Amino acid sequence: MNHDTILHSLIADNLVSDPESARGRLLREAARLFRDKGYERTTVRDLAAAVGIQSGSLFHHFRTKEEILKAVMVETIRLNTAVMQAAMDAADTNREKLRALISAELESINGQTGEAMAVLVFEWRSLSEPSQAEVLKLRDIYESLWLEVLTALKEEGALVADPFVVRRMLTGALSWTVTWYRPERGGLSQEGLTDQVMAMLGLSKADSR
Amino acid sequence: MNHDTILHSLIADNLVSDPESARGRLLREAARLFRDKGYERTTVRDLAAAVGIQSGSLFHHFRTKEEILKAVMVETIRLNTAVMQAAMDAADTNREKLRALISAELESINGQTGEAMAVLVFEWRSLSEPSQAEVLKLRDIYESLWLEVLTALKEEGALVADPFVVRRMLTGALSWTVTWYRPERGGLSQEGLTDQVMAMLGLSKADSR
DNA sequence: TTACAAACCAAGCGCTTGCTTGGTATGGTC
DNA sequence: GACCATACCAAGCAAGCGCTTGGTTTGTAA
């Protein structure tokens, strides 16, 4: 199950929009703008211009501006949960499963579609409370993947700290990479960065204690 | 050198505003509002109402709304650099110095004046580019404290990963605690949380490798 | 008592915002 | 060829925004 296969299966189930469709293109541009300028600083006129229509025409596709933000978040979390699940299933040991999760999360936030993931993390407050509750449910599924693996590692004795705390720390640390990590400028590769995170946790391959 | 001594010395040097003064009170309320609602969602009318004056009167104290954000950030980073420096100086070993830094940063973001620190982290994008450059200079001093200790630990062999990467990861992890860590609801104390972070890095007292 | 600056109010200006409205192409279906 | 839903445009409305203005109160010091 590679990334594209997962994407198309979700599109078929109507769980995420086809990036080729009008809706999909708008959501992608919206994610980019929301990440670059923030939700509040992005106007409906900005959004419309990005896809080449009039600002009023946006409201044929979405009832409100906030609905666009919500759609970006919901579709992003759906896609990423599926991708993470697949990455985890493909790994054998718990240590490898964790590595797969870290690598996948780094990819999802720093990769090509990373705009949407950054929006999910940093624009949370701009979502109305009812919408937050909705997205929160989806996020719980996503988080349970992590806790499962971290708890297993703790039981193995490979992890000293509390799984719940470690996951929260990793959430912050990994999402923060979007503010400083620039792989295209040379230096550390994404795999290299994953290694660094594993090393930081004392979970490198060579490192058995 | 305790926290209050440092604060008063900075006030005397006119580097931060007295929290009792009109300006100081405004900045504190601004920090709280900016953290809770975000800079863009906070109106000058909100700010004025929080200190009990008319919205127009704000502009007697600050030329623009953005100047208020900048002042919050500049004063916060000045205070915290001084506090961190003192915490570090009071520690003996490098391991203890790092622990002091982590503990101090957790305190600065989750403690009583944590609003301002959260603003510094999460409202960065709302600052104009010239102001960003100004604050960035101050932040570099702050960051050099961390890198100094982390590099020393690496040379000691106590740290495996790259100091620069570790600092970035810690920045994300520690600042993210503001979104989930609620010490007042019982559970983990701030010292306990510091222990967890040290354990995660494989730098607990008992843990010598 | 006078003088004066700092702190504030009451009113509102000019502009941008999210969103609405009435109407017009476009493409597929019977 | 009539019908109709989908996708869009052109224009603009009501509300809220940051900020300005002219004038008043308050505190301080000679």
User: Could you report the per-residue pLDDT of A117-172, keeping only the tens digit for each?
Assistant: 999 989 999 999 999 999 999 999 999 999 999 999 999 999 999 999 999 999 99
Cα(B84)–Cα(B108) distance, rounded to whole angstroms? Answer: 9
Q: Is the Cβ of A191 closer than 8 Å to some Cβ of chain B?
A: no
Task: Classify residue A105 as exposed, middle or buried by CB count within 10 Å of its CB (0-12, 13-18, 19+).
Answer: buried
Q: Are A191 and A111 in contact, with CB atoms under 8 Å apart? A: no
Cβ–Cβ of B169/A173 closer than 8 Å? yes
DSSP A203: -
CB B22 within 8 A of CB B31: no
Q: In chain A, pLDDT over 70 holds for what percent of residues? A: 98
What CA–CA distance (Å, rounded) separates A125 from A127?
5
pLDDT above 90 covers a percentage of chain A that reads 80
A126 in reach of chain B (CB within 8 A): yes
Quick check: A187 pLDDT over 60?
A: yes
In this predicted model, what pLDDT tens digit does every residue of A3-46 receive, in sequence order?
889 999 999 888 999 888 889 999 999 999 999 999 999 999 99
Measured N-to-C along each axis, helices B163-176 and B114-122 cross at an angle, to the nearest 10 degrees, of 120
Q: Where are the domains of chain B?
A: 3-200
Q: Which of A9, A169, A197 is nearest to A104 (CA)?
A: A197
Q: Which residues contact A141 (CB under 8 A, 6 or more apart)?
A: A81
What is the distance in angstroms between the Cα of B22 and the nearest Cα belonging to chain A?
Answer: 29
Q: CB-based contact (8 Å) between B189 and chain A? A: no
End-to-end CA distance of chain B: 33
Question: What span, in angstroms and rounded, lies between the C-alpha atoms of B7 and A200?
Answer: 34
Q: Measuring CA to CA, how many Å separate A201 from each of A169, B120, B141? A: 11, 27, 27
Q: Compute the Cα dihedral for A107, A111, A117, A122 and give only its sign.
A: positive
For testing the chain B interface, which of A181, A200, A203 should be mutated: the one with the most B CBs within 10 Å? Answer: A200
Is 70 exceeded by the pLDDT of residue A66?
yes
Averaged pLDDT of chain A: 91
* Cα–Cα dist B151/B171, whole Å: 16
Torsion angle (degrees, nearest 10) of CA B37, A174, A199, B101: -20
Q: How far is B121 from chain A (nearest CA, A)?
A: 10
Q: Per CATH, is B3-200 categorized as 1.10.357.10?
A: yes
DSSP A125-183: GGS-HHHHHHHHHHHHHHHHHHHHHHHHHHHHTS--S-HHHHHHHHHHHHHHGGGT--G
Rounded Cα gap, residues A70 and A76, in angstroms: 10
Contacts of A130 (CB under 8 A, 6+ apart): none
Per-residue pLDDT of chain B (209 residues; tens, 9 = 90+): 778 899 989 988 889 998 888 899 999 999 999 999 999 999 999 999 999 999 989 999 999 999 999 999 999 999 999 999 999 999 999 999 999 999 999 999 998 888 899 999 899 999 999 999 999 999 999 999 999 999 999 999 999 999 999 999 999 999 999 999 998 877 899 999 999 999 999 987 655 44
Q: Please name the residues in contact with B179: beta carbons below 8 A apart, sequence gap of 6 or more.
A: A172
Q: Which residue places its CA closest to the C1' of nucleotide D21?
A: B56
Q: Which residues in A lie closer than 8 A to residue B205 (C-beta atoms)?
A: none
**Mutation choice for A interface testing from B42, B196, B203, B207 by most A CBs within 10 A:** B196
H or E stretch covering B121: helix B114-122
Of the partner residues B165, B172, B174, the one whose CB lies closest to the CB of residue A175:
B172
Whether pLDDT at A209 is above 50 = no
